Amino acid sequence: MANKPRLVDSHAHLDMPEFDADRAETVRRAFAAGIIAVLCPADLTRAASLPAIAALAEEFPTVLAAAGVHAHQAKDLSAGHLDEIERLAARGAIRAVGEIGLDYHYDFSPAGAQREALRAQLAVAAKTGLPVIIHSRLAGADIIAAIDGERFENGGILHCFTEDWETARALIGRGFYVSFSGILTFPGAGALREVAAQIPLDRLLVETDSPYLAPVPYRGPGRRNEPAFVVETARVLAALRGLSFEALAEVTTRNFAALVPFEKSGGRC
Ligand SMILES: [Zn+2]
Ligand SMILES: [Zn+2]
């Protein structure tokens, strides 16, 4: 009998409408599967987002909240959002700022607006002392430039990492952890698995990015992803690294706790 893992899902959008019917039940299923903490980024441009995560964090002390304005919504970032991040951080209601970043694949907001929103939120995060959750799609060089431009030194998570090894290496050198999603389990993701094989063990994390990107074998049209499924990504990563599943779970959980201490969590939104 294999021991239960003690895994952390470093990124799950449990605020999304996909979980309206069974949000708390989804967390209980994850805990039953051995997931001991879940980091949930709230989208400050959507009114229902933060309250949904705050309610979960209230019920489950290791559901951890983050907040920010995503690259997709960068054009809607206001001074009010920046103030809100600062207030939430000041009362310990969030553990990270994010997700924030750049997405040059979808381009839902103009690239210039994305870069401005990223830099403004890096500046707020620097003030709060919190790490950031970075979303980067085809944008590694500009992410690095923004972090250097703001002299941002709190580190953070490169969530759902799909960039190349050089980007990973540069950001690891700036205090970042590299989080892999269910994409790692996809048959066509050989290049990403090669990157994952090179990341220093003490910088590895796993995530679901629920409700998106369900890993194999849950993948399929319309299939909802959920934190319990992070086990599958961890399995693939363990095999890639020549580690037992338990050892991989232990190291990624330790890494997460080093960045976002959570055992004695109790922040209130
Ligand atoms: Zn993202
Ligand atoms: Zn996300």
Q: What is the mean pLDDT of residues 107-127?
A: 97
pLDDT at 201 over 90: yes
Q: What is the mean pLDDT of residues 260-268?
A: 66
Q: Which of 103, 98, 78, 73 is nearest to 11 (CA)?
A: 98
Q: What is the mean pLDDT of residues 25-31?
A: 98
Q: Are 38 and 227 in contact (CB under 8 A)?
A: yes
**Quick check: pTM over 0.85?**
yes
Over residues 156-175, the pLDDT tens digits come to: 999 999 999 999 999 999 99
Cα torsion angle, 231, 235, 240, 241, sign = positive
176 vs 106: CA distance, rounded Å: 24
Q: What is the mean pLDDT of residues 19-44?
A: 98
* 4 CA from centroid of ligand 2 (Å): 26
pLDDT at 266 over 90: no
Q: What is the mean pLDDT of residues 236-241?
A: 98
* 1 CA from centroid of ligand 1 (Å): 35
Closest-approaching ligand to the CA atom of 72:
1
Closest-approaching ligand to the CA atom of 209:
2
* 13 CA from centroid of ligand 2 (Å): 6
Q: Which of 139, 128, 130 is nearest to 164 (CA)?
A: 139
To the nearest 10°, report the CA torsion of 109, 113, 119, 123: -100
Sort 119 into a burial class: Cβ within 10 Å, 0-12 / 13-18 / 19+: middle
Phi, psi of 162 (to 5 degrees): -135, 5
Least confident of 37-41, 190-194, 265-269: 265-269
Closest-approaching ligand to the CA atom of 162:
1
Over residues 32-60, the pLDDT tens digits come to: 999 999 999 999 999 999 999 999 999 99
Least confident of 104-108, 124-128, 212-216: 104-108
The mean of the pLDDT values for the chain is 95
Q: Are 267 and 94 in contact (CB under 8 A)?
A: yes
